[in-house]
């Protein structure tokens, strides 16, 4: 699976849940208060942003999806500020006013890019089925329903709403809250973070126990899938009857995790609504999360930012000529994203059109292509003292310049069997008149559930023939 962006403009997502206003007061703190040992912040900038379910909706819109937002607010200044923030983000919102209640507001005081304190305003809303009725009436116009639960009281009688959505053919994604997940029974997918997951299933010692308890939760709640977000350990996707998909964290720098969960579920929603398969949607969500945690405060991710991050997956620092250790890390990350890794090997002493055609053919069989190259001593043992014509560094540089090739790695043994056994590609290919049992590394690849294929070379093209032609010309 190569990670690609679908046409997000085709996505129609309905978001319902706890909306809130994220308010930021920002300024320098250059002195300590004489009244108490606390910093004095000279506020010179105020910023109001849409948070909670509203941030989910803004993330959908920022990626280019069509979004409708439903939430509850009070009769206060914060509600108006929230409406303005939502409108600025291009989201069509219906904020239902509950008299006597206050809009959920989180005020953060920031100095020198550090949060000094957070003050929360607003209590739980009184139970009301108004939001459910509004959501049920909107289901037919949307492909995905996101329930963003911050336990502020907007979401009630969720089993009935989930059942109505599933009956209408709408995918239901839930960002859960609390230690009782039974209220989300029948949803398509839940996205708990690790703390929320452990609060429900209890402690886990390792990935294997996480998978076991996660699969049990999938069965108990009749879910299609469960995506556990694990901070620096990335994400784990669990589906009934299928192997777990572990996606490693991609963030190069974590600046602020505020709203990262909103970004994950919104990217999942817009990708699924646009036609992506679930593993690819999770890979996109993982990439989006890595972008947003590098920003300060509640933020969104644009389609351009996501595209750039996805492109970096395929053009990272590890692409090109790599060491064995670099290759093993890059392959592990690629396979974790569900990509098919193809591997081949050879001397490639004088690169010719036959080689290029063969490598292009190999690359079309998967998402990534590794070329393992005999070093100079290995070539001499195989081809004779007069070879190679070109040193291993030159041969690898030429191979790495080909568009079909992702990684080039040297090996010093007569065969790449040990290296192939360490890499364990999904598909091992070799060009020429071979049988599978004659190919170095075939046992290791097959034992790991991979595949071995024989590809043909273009007739009349070979390094030896080129060398002989040059000699005759002399």
Write out pLDDT tens, residues 271-303: 999 999 999 899 899 888 888 776 666 667 887
Q: Output the pLDDT for position 30.
A: 92
Tokens of 140: 């037919």
Is the pTM of the predicted complex or chain greater than 0.75?
A: no
Catalytic site residue from 22, 48, 149, 262: 262
Spell out a b/e string for 237-261, using b for 16 or more CB atoms within 10 Å of the CB, else e. Answer: bbbeeeebbbbebbbeeeebebbbb
Q: What is the DSSP letter of 224?
A: S
Find the mean pLDDT for residues 357-375.
92
- Fill in the DSSP letter of residue 6: -
Which pLDDT does position 457 carry in this prediction? 61
Q: Could you tell me which residue, 278 or 249, shows the higher pLDDT?
A: 278
pLDDT at residue 349, rounded to an integer:
81
Residue 86 CB-density burial (10 A; 0-12 exposed, 13-18 middle, 19+ buried): buried
Any bridge partners for residue 52, and if so which? Answer: 19
**Residue 237, CA distances (Å) to 145, 161, 226, 337, 420 in order:** 19, 24, 6, 11, 28
Q: How confident is the model at residue 254 (pLDDT cuts 50, 70, 90)?
A: very low
- Can you tell me the distance from the alpha carbon of 118 to that of 110, in angstroms, rounded to the nearest whole number? 9
- Please choose, from the candidates 260, 238, 265, 240, the residue with its C-alpha nearest in 3D space to the C-alpha of residue 250: 260
- Of the listed ranges 48-57, 251-260, 363-372, 423-432, the one predicted with least confidence: 251-260
Confidence of residue 317 (pLDDT cuts 50, 70, 90): very low
In 29-85, the DSSP E strands lie at: 31-32, 39-40, 45-52, 66-73
- Give me the sheet containing 189-190, strands edge to edge: 92-97, 66-73, 12-17, 144-148, 171-175, 189-190, 225-229, 235-239, 245-247
Please report which residue ranges of 344-462 form alpha helices under DSSP H. 353-363, 376-383, 392-400, 417-423, 442-447
CB 324 within 8 A of CB 408: no
Nearest-CA neighbor of 371 among 349, 339, 400? Answer: 400
Cβ pair 307, 266 in contact under 8 A: no
Query: Quick one: pLDDT at residue 463?
Result: 54
Quick check: helix, strand or coil at residue 169?
A: coil
Note the pLDDT of residue 473: 60
Residue 262 annotated to the active site? yes
Q: Which helix (H) or strand (E) holds 467?
A: helix 463-473
The answer to whether the peptide bond before residue 231 is cis (omega within 30 degrees of 0) is: no
Whole-number Å distance between alpha carbons of 264 and 173: 11
Alpha carbon distance 373, 379 (integer Å): 9
- Of these ranges, 108-122, 314-328, 353-367, 385-399, the one predicted with the greatest mean pLDDT is 108-122
Question: Buried b vs exposed e over 101-140: b needs ≥16 C-beta within 10 Å?
Answer: bbbbbbbbbbbeeeeeeeeebbeebeeeeebbebbbebbe
What pLDDT is recorded for position 400? 86
pLDDT higher at 212 or 312 = 212
**Dihedral sign (CA 219, 222, 223, 226):** negative
pLDDT score at 256: 44
Mean pLDDT of the chain: 88
Q: What pLDDT band is residue 255 in, cutting at 50, 70 and 90?
A: very low
Q: Is the pLDDT of residue 81 over 90?
A: yes
Query: Per-residue pLDDT tens for 133-191?
Result: 999 999 999 999 999 999 999 999 999 999 999 999 999 999 999 999 999 999 999 99
Mean pLDDT of 307-336: 76
User: Whole-angstrom Cα distance, residue 114 to residue 41?
Assistant: 12
């Amino acid at each position: 699976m190569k990670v690609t962006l679908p046409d997000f403009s085709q996505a129609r997502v309905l978001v319902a849940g706890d909306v809130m206003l994220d308010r930021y007061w920002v300024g320098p703190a250059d002195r300590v208060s004489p009244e108490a040992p606390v910093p004095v912040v000279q506020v010179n900038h105020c910023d109001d942003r849409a948070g909670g379910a509203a941030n989910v909706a803004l993330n959908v819109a920022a990626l280019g999806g069509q979004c409708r937002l439903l939430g509850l607010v009070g009769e206060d200044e914060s509600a108006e500020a929230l409406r303005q923030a939502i409108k600025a983000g291009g989201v069509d919102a219906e904020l239902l006013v509950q008299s006597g209640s206050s809009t959920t507001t989180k005020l953060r005081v920031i100095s020198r890019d550090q949060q000094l304190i957070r003050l929360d305003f607003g209590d739980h809303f009184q139970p009301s089925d108004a939001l459910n009725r509004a959501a049920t009436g909107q289901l037919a116009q949307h492909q995905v329903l996101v329930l963003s639960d911050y336990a502020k009281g907007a979401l009630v009688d969720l089993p009935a709403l989930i059942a109505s959505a599933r009956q209408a053919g709408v995918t239901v994604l839930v960002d859960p809250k609390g230690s009782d997940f039974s209220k989300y029974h029948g949803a398509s997918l839940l996205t708990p973070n690790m703390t929320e997951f452990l609060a429900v299933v209890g402690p886990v010692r390792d990935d294997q126990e996480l998978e076991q308890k996660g699969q049990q939760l999938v069965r108990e709640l009749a879910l299609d899938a469960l995506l556990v977000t694990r901070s620096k350990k990335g994400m784990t996707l669990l589906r009934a009857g299928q192997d777990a998909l572990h996606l490693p964290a991609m963030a190069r720098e974590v600046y602020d995790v505020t709203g990262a969960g909103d970004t994950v579920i919104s990217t999942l929603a817009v990708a699924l609504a646009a036609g992506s398969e679930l593993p690819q949607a999770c890979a996109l969500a993982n990439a989006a999360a890595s972008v947003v945690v590098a920003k300060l405060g509640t933020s969104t991710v644009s389609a351009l930012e996501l595209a750039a991050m996805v492109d970096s997956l395929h053009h990272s620092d590890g692409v090109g000529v790599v060491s064995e250790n670099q290759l093993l890390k890059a392959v592990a990350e690629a396979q974790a994203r569900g990509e098919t890794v193809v591997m081949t090997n050879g001397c490639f002493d004088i690169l010719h059109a036959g080689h290029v055609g063969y490598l292009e053919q190999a690359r079309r069989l998967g998402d990534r292509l590794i070329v393992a190259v005999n070093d100079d001593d290995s070539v001499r043992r195989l081809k004779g003292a007069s070879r190679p014509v070109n040193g291993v560094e030159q041969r690898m540089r030429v191979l790495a310049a080909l568009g079909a090739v992702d990684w080039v790695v040297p090996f010093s043994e007569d065969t790449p069997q040990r290296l192939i056994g360490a890499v364990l590609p999904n598909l091992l290919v070799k060009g020429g008149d071979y049988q599978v049992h004659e190919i170095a590394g075939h046992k290791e690849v097959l034992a790991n559930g991979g595949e071995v294929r024989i590809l043909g070379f273009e007739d009349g093209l070979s390094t030896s023939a080129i060398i002989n032609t040059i000699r005759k010309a002399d």
